Amino acid sequence: MTNRMHDQIYSLPGMIREVFPKFDESVRMGLDHQLCMSIKRIYVTGCGDSHHAALGAELAFEALAGVPTEALTALQFARYSAPLIPDSGPRTNLVIGISVSGEVTRTLEALLQGQAAGATTVAVTATPGSRVANAGEHVIWTTAPDFPDPAGVHTPGVRSYAANQLALYLAAIRIGEVRGKLTTQEANKLRGELLNLAHAAEQTIAACDKPAGALARDWMDAQEFVYVGGGPNYGSALFSAAKLLEASGDPALGQETEEWAHLQYFARSTNTPTLFITAGDRDLSRSVECAVAANTVGRQVVAIAPGSAAALHETAGQSLPLAGGVREMFSPLVATIPGELIAAYRAEAIGEPFFRSFGGGRSQEGGGGISRIRTSELLGAKPE
């Protein structure tokens, strides 16, 4: 481990084991029986990493809770979708707003607009007393043990993403169990699988660390990076690209597998590193087809997949293997680790400080200076 981002990545298995009982209890308390039984539709919303976690959990909510679910950016939900929520009866729509800091204005706005539309709101946050925590009618706490950065260092977050992902999966299981979609035995088996993701994370880190470092060194001259994923791992592709942007400042794009074939396939640059992420399930055949196409036009193709996805590994020029035996709906928690490692190694290889040291007009003030992540205009009802 050579930098603080590596430290965070290597801490993930221990963090999962440590927070699991506390998160499970928080989910059970935050999602009471009446709430779970009344739900007819779920909206999961957030910004940045929180939105990526929402995308990664959408399949779990639909498959385990048995409730139609939409994962939307906070802006899309607050200013476009919330006013049009279908009137399916009192308190039958559930809005889950995710914000680790609890101070992201757009996520606060999403909860407030959801309430104004008659929905029940749940805040998923690590920060008691925050605006988002106070705005949610129910709260799921995702507070993890402190992992402070050295003075003057700000590290791209990987622990907070894993914490959010874990809490959302537990929420899906809880709702499904209360509604009778899952038996208690089935629900507990799924919870056991979630806890075992700590071991899967350890296996993935061990298998991917050295090859990720080698790829970062091989790609010293790369000008852009593309991560590709389908289903729940579309969120993994977006998150992996986000970590590279934050860590090294490189242009990085997350794209959905089918959309890559319709768009990035035609890009002028021929040797762009292109990483296909899959759990080896429903999207596998299309991932292989796209990887063949990427090879044909000259891309540097990497497979991020379990060993069971043999056809993709055979097609790709390089592999970053994921631990096997992980359900597709839970795979984003593990499938993002290779991208995190590449981001850490890339920043180190080119000597770029994380977040570009908030230079060049960027600022930490207000959660991002001129972007005003925490201080932007808040539409609708104001929090008390």
The answer to whether residues 272 and 244 belong to one domain is yes
The answer to whether residues 158 and 15 belong to one domain is yes
The answer to whether residues 283 and 341 belong to one domain is yes
337 domain-assigned: yes
15 domain-assigned: yes
What is the reported pLDDT for 375?
Answer: 86
Strand, helix or coil for residue 122: strand
Helices and strands (H and E) in the chain: how many: 15, 10
Nearest to 235 by CA among 252, 208, 255, 262: 255
What is the reported pLDDT for 84?
Answer: 94
Q: Which domain CATH number covers 350?
A: 3.40.50.10490
70 domain-assigned: yes
The answer to whether residues 75 and 141 belong to one domain is yes
The answer to whether residues 169 and 136 belong to one domain is yes
pLDDT tens sequence for the chain (384 residues): 358 899 999 999 999 999 999 999 999 999 999 999 999 999 999 999 999 999 999 999 999 999 999 999 999 999 999 999 988 888 899 999 999 999 999 999 999 999 999 999 999 999 999 999 999 999 999 999 988 887 777 899 999 999 999 999 999 999 999 999 999 999 999 999 999 999 999 999 999 999 999 999 999 999 999 999 999 999 999 999 999 999 999 999 999 999 999 999 999 999 999 999 999 999 999 999 999 999 999 999 999 999 999 999 999 989 999 999 999 999 999 999 999 999 999 999 999 999 988 776 666 555 455 678 888 899 865 544
Residue 69, both tokens: 């679910």
The answer to whether residues 187 and 336 belong to one domain is no
Let me know: does 213 contact 341? Beta carbons within 8 Å. yes
370 domain-assigned: no
What is the distance of C-alpha 279 from the center of its chain?
15
CA separation for the pair 52, 224 (Å, rounded): 20
Task: Strand 138-141: give its sheet, edge to edge.
Answer: 69-73, 41-46, 93-98, 120-125, 138-141
The answer to whether residues 176 and 224 belong to one domain is no
Q: What phi and psi, each to the nearest 5 degrees, are found at residue 250?
A: -75, 145
What is the reported pLDDT for 369?
Answer: 57
The answer to whether residues 218 and 167 belong to one domain is no
The answer to whether residues 210 and 190 belong to one domain is no
What is the reported pLDDT for 372?
Answer: 82
The answer to whether residues 177 and 236 belong to one domain is no
What is the reported pLDDT for 246?
Answer: 95
364 domain-assigned: no
Query: Which among 160, 195, 230 is the end of a domain?
Result: 195
What is the reported pLDDT for 35?
Answer: 96
Name the residue range of residue 339's domain: 204-357
The answer to whether residues 300 and 171 belong to one domain is no
CA separation for the pair 237, 256 (Å, rounded): 8
Is pTM, for the whole model, over 0.85? Answer: yes
- The structural domain count of the chain equals 2
Q: How crowded is residue 274: how many other Cβ atoms within 10 Å of its Cβ?
A: 28
The answer to whether residues 181 and 228 belong to one domain is no
